[in-house]
Structure 1
Amino acid sequence: MSESLDQLPGGPEPVPAAPPAKHGWLNFAIDFGPLLVFFLTYKFTAGGQGAFAATAGAIKGTIAFMIAILVAMGISKWKLGRISPMLWMSGILVIGFGALTVYLHDPKFIVMKPTIIYAVFALMLLGGWWFKKPMLKYLLQSALDGMTERGWLLLSRNWGLFFAALGIANHVMYVLIEAGRMSFDTWLTIKVWGVTALSFLFTLTQVPVMLKNGLAVPDGEAK
């Protein structure tokens, strides 16, 4: 499943990582290749000083990210024979919000956009949990073999709360940037790499939940 949900100004947000299947190296490249393309483009094109002076670099990085996610989707279809629902959602969000980012060219929108996306994911997952509809199950499909309905509901709730916390944290950083107490570069580094690390750590905390609720473990890993 794609980690390229909004890790950056032009795309959507981090999502739980499924246990690696065959072609694991290719899945990793599809997930993180576009993110690396964005960050390198930004670093080599951004310039200037001040809270929002790096907007131009972020815009160029966003354009590169939009192209990279399309390439990743094409490679997934070619090599793996399918495009996962999560990668489809990533692509739609990256292209949609990326186009808005380029069109508006507004640094405030660049920083606030992740809060909007986090809120959408939180509402979707928590709303599904409230109505006993595990939305995460529909996005990940067979990525977590053997998971019970209760397990999917617990994961949807937990990830919904995680996204809500990320949304609050991003809004706090927006306020700090507006007040001149945080730089755009600092925010971007936290947004791209800090959130990625946090999502992996949070995924690890969910392993016991998955194991207690039917996650199928290959024989080689169970020993």
Structure 2
Amino acid sequence: MKLLLDFLPVLLFFVTYKIAHGDPAQAAALATQSLGFLTAGGVFTPEQAPIVLATGVVIIATLIQVLVLMALRRRVEPMVWVSLVLVVVMGGATIWFHSDAFIKWKPTLLYWGMGLALLGGRFIWKKNLVQTVMGASMRLPESAWTKLLLSWVGFFAAMGVLNLIVAAQFSTDAWVNFKLFGSLGLTLAFVVGQGLFLARHIQPGSDA
């Protein structure tokens, strides 16, 4: 269920954008009617409406995600809170200024924020946060934990840069596709690579 809750906001963003992109005139009317009060001009054009509607939906979906976790008395992970703040701030700016640039920056800020958190844990608090999360279920040499941490830092840094490249060099439609399929595919490939790395270094006595 947690995986579904984590994935749902991105999926709803994608679906909303695609539906609105298929009928931009109707999307503009709906966006103006439902979100016009949140913007200075009060009116959205057919070109602006798909990303505006998708942004409004992802803000609501992320809020619901947090509320459901709280209602179920589940722990809301720190990065979920960070994601909520970013999507409200950057998404709100997208709606207010009629500009998709803000929501396109959100994934990059989240990726870089996660990478900086890992680095901060290692060099400021002297903790390997990857080991903190995974250490209870497996035993690895200290050098392997360090490599694992640095690989995640590198992955988050690269994904942040890649998101900006796609956002700047391709259409909004292409960026929306990348946000769902590209990011998910690259993350799955990275996790598989991490699994192969762990298989080589895991020590006897691990629960994994």
> Please, what TM-score do these two structures have when normalized by structure 1?
0.66
Which residue of structure 2 lines up, in the alignment, with residue 203 of structure 1? 191
Instruction: Kindly indicate whether residue 62 of structure 2 is the aligned counterpart of residue 66 of structure 1.
Output: no
After TM superposition, give the deviation of residue 64 of structure 1 in Å.
0.9
8 Å Cα contact 1:129-1:157 kept in structure 2: no
**SS of corresponding position for 1:106:** coil
Instruction: Kindly indicate whether residue 88 of structure 2 is the aligned counterpart of residue 95 of structure 1.
Output: yes
From the two aligned structures, give the one with the greater helix fraction: 2
Instruction: Kindly indicate whether residue 204 of structure 2 is the aligned counterpart of residue 216 of structure 1.
Output: no
Q: CA–CA distance in 2 between the matches of 1:38 and 1:96?
A: 16
Which residue of structure 1 lines up, in the alignment, with residue 137 of structure 2? 145
Paired residues in the alignment total: 182
Instruction: Flag the structure with larger Rg.
Output: 2
Instruction: Kindly indicate whether residue 160 of structure 2 is the aligned counterpart of residue 167 of structure 1.
Output: yes
Q: Deviations over 1:44-96 (max 9, x none)?
A: 22338xxxx75421121111111112222222233354323343333333233
Q: CA–CA distance in 2 between the matches of 1:147 and 1:73?
A: 32
Which residue of structure 2 lines up, in the alignment, with residue 110 of structure 1? 103
| Structure 1 pair 36–170 and aligned structure 2 pair: CA distance change class (3 A) | closer
After TM superposition, give the deviation of residue 202 of structure 1 in Å.
0.5
CA RMSD, Structure 1 to Structure 2 (Å): 3.1
| Structure 1 pair 86–98 and aligned structure 2 pair: CA distance change class (3 A) | same
Q: CA–CA distance in 1 between the matches of 2:102 and 2:79?
A: 24
| Structure 1 pair 85–119 and aligned structure 2 pair: CA distance change class (3 A) | closer
Instruction: Kindly indicate whether residue 8 of structure 2 is the aligned counterpart of residue 33 of structure 1.
Output: yes
Letter in 2 for 1:145: S
Name which of structure 1's ranges 105-114 and 146-155 shifts more when overlaid on structure 2: 146-155
Which residue of structure 1 lines up, in the alignment, with residue 42 of structure 2? none
8 Å Cα contact 1:54-1:184 kept in structure 2: no
Instruction: Kindly indicate whether residue 180 of structure 2 is the aligned counterpart of residue 192 of structure 1.
Output: yes
8 Å Cα contact 1:147-1:210 kept in structure 2: no
Q: Highest relative contact order (Cα 8 Å, sep 6+), 1 or 2?
A: 1
8 Å Cα contact 1:133-1:153 kept in structure 2: no
After TM superposition, give the deviation of residue 130 of structure 1 in Å.
4.6
Q: CA–CA distance in 1 between the matches of 2:185 and 2:12?
A: 18
Segments of structure 2 that go 5 or more residues without pairing to the other structure are 26-45
8 Å Cα contact 1:134-1:152 kept in structure 2: yes
Letter in 2 for 1:34: P
Which residue of structure 1 lines up, in the alignment, with residue 68 of structure 2? 75
| Structure 1 pair 80–153 and aligned structure 2 pair: CA distance change class (3 A) | farther
